[in-house]
Amino acid sequence: MNMTTHINANPWDTGTDELERLALEECVKRQRIDHRVSVLVIADKHCDLAPRFARLEAEVILADQPQFHQEIEGRILASGRRDQISYVATELTALPERFAGQPFDIIVVRQGLCRLPYAEARSVIRNLLLRLRIGGKLYVSVLGLHSELSQGYADSEATIDQRFAPLAPALARKYGIHHPVCLYTERNLFMVLLEAGASVLRTLTTTYGNVKGVAVRV
Question: What average pLDDT does this structure show over 182-195?
Answer: 98
80 inside domain: yes
Rounded to whole angstroms, the Cα distance separating 70 from 89 reads 10
Per-residue CA distances from 134 to 73, 87, 106, 141 (Å): 31, 24, 11, 21
Strand partners, 127: none
10 inside domain: no
Task: Report pLDDT for 16.
Answer: 53
Residue 156 structural domain: 18-216
pLDDT in tens, 99-114: 988 999 999 999 999 9
pLDDT in tens, 125-139: 999 999 999 999 999
Domain of 190, CATH number, reads 3.40.50.150
Residue 189's pLDDT band, with cuts at 50, 70 and 90, is very high
1 inside domain: no
142 inside domain: yes
Task: Report pLDDT for 4.
Answer: 35
State the total domains in the chain: 1
203 inside domain: yes
